Amino acid sequence: MVQRAPAPASTSVRLAEIMAAFSLATDIGTGIPFESMLRVALMAVRLGEAHGVRDDELATTYYLPLLALTGCSAESRTSAEMLGDETDPRVAHQWTYTDMAKLREMMGFLFRHIGAGKPPLARAAYMAGMMAGGGKNLAELDRAHCEVAQRVARRLGFGEAVEQSIWHVYER
């Protein structure tokens, strides 16, 4: 008869631990500094606690940053085609902090990065396509990103507050 090892005292894993690991993978996949979204989640919760936010709202506050970038896979091919290596930390950082609603910021970002590594005519064609679309293609990328993140939230059972909050992540 084979002896089995005793079962660990607790085999359950908390949702917070799963989401923390998930967010670390997302950080790596998007090229942002490791543990960025964990830091955002913890800072947001501490800020909420300091202002007396209710526990249910604090839970939403914690999980939202951990889910916010999970939709990046929806846009990775298009981003790579437009920007070259979209996981390059410099590009990812500038993409994240550029206000695409401000024409000057958006154009500066696009002129620096659109069609990176491609011949000048290909870069000009990308830029012409962006201008012809009036930024619509960037909005479609954000929408696809939010749809994937919202579906992940739904599948994991986060509920309406988290699902709806995801749609506001990229609003400025």
User: Is residue 171, in this structure, part of any structural domain at all?
Assistant: no
More confident residue, 74 or 110: 110
- 73-77, 125-129, 145-149: least confident range: 73-77
Distances (CA, A) of 43 to 66, 101, 152: 12, 26, 23
Domain count, the chain: 1
- The whole-number pLDDT of residue 93 equals 67
What is the per-residue pLDDT for 1?
Answer: 44
Evaluate whether 60 touches 160 at the Cβ level (below 8 Å): no
Q: Is residue 47 part of a domain?
A: yes
- The pLDDT assigned to 39 comes to 94
Q: Is residue 2 part of a domain?
A: no
Report DSSP state, residue 9.
S
In a domain, 1, yes or no: no
Q: Report the chain's mean pLDDT, rounded to a whole number.
A: 80
pLDDT of residue 140: 73
Band of the pLDDT at 2, cuts 50, 70, 90?
very low
pTM of the predicted model as reported, rounded to 2 decimal places: 0.69
Question: What average pLDDT does this structure show over 37-49?
Answer: 94
Residues in Cβ contact with 15 at an 8 Å cutoff, skipping those fewer than 6 apart: 156
- Higher pLDDT: 85 or 145? It is 145
**Does residue 160 or residue 88 have the better pLDDT?**
160
Would 104 be classed as within a structural domain? Answer: yes
Q: What's the burial of 34, exposed, middle or buried (CB within 10 Å: 0-12/13-18/19+)?
A: exposed
Within a domain: residue 144? yes
Domain contains 5: no
Identity of residue 30 = T
Examine residue 8 and state whether it is found in any structural domain, yes or no: no
Q: What angle do CA 16, 30, 143 make, to 5 degrees?
A: 85
If DSSP codes are grouped into helix, strand and coil, which group holds residue 34?
coil
Containing structural domain, residue 97: 15-166
Mean pLDDT calculated for residue range 114-136? 79
Please list, in sequence order, all residues whose beta carbon lies within 8 angstroms of the beta carbon of residue 21, skipping any fewer than 6 positions away: none
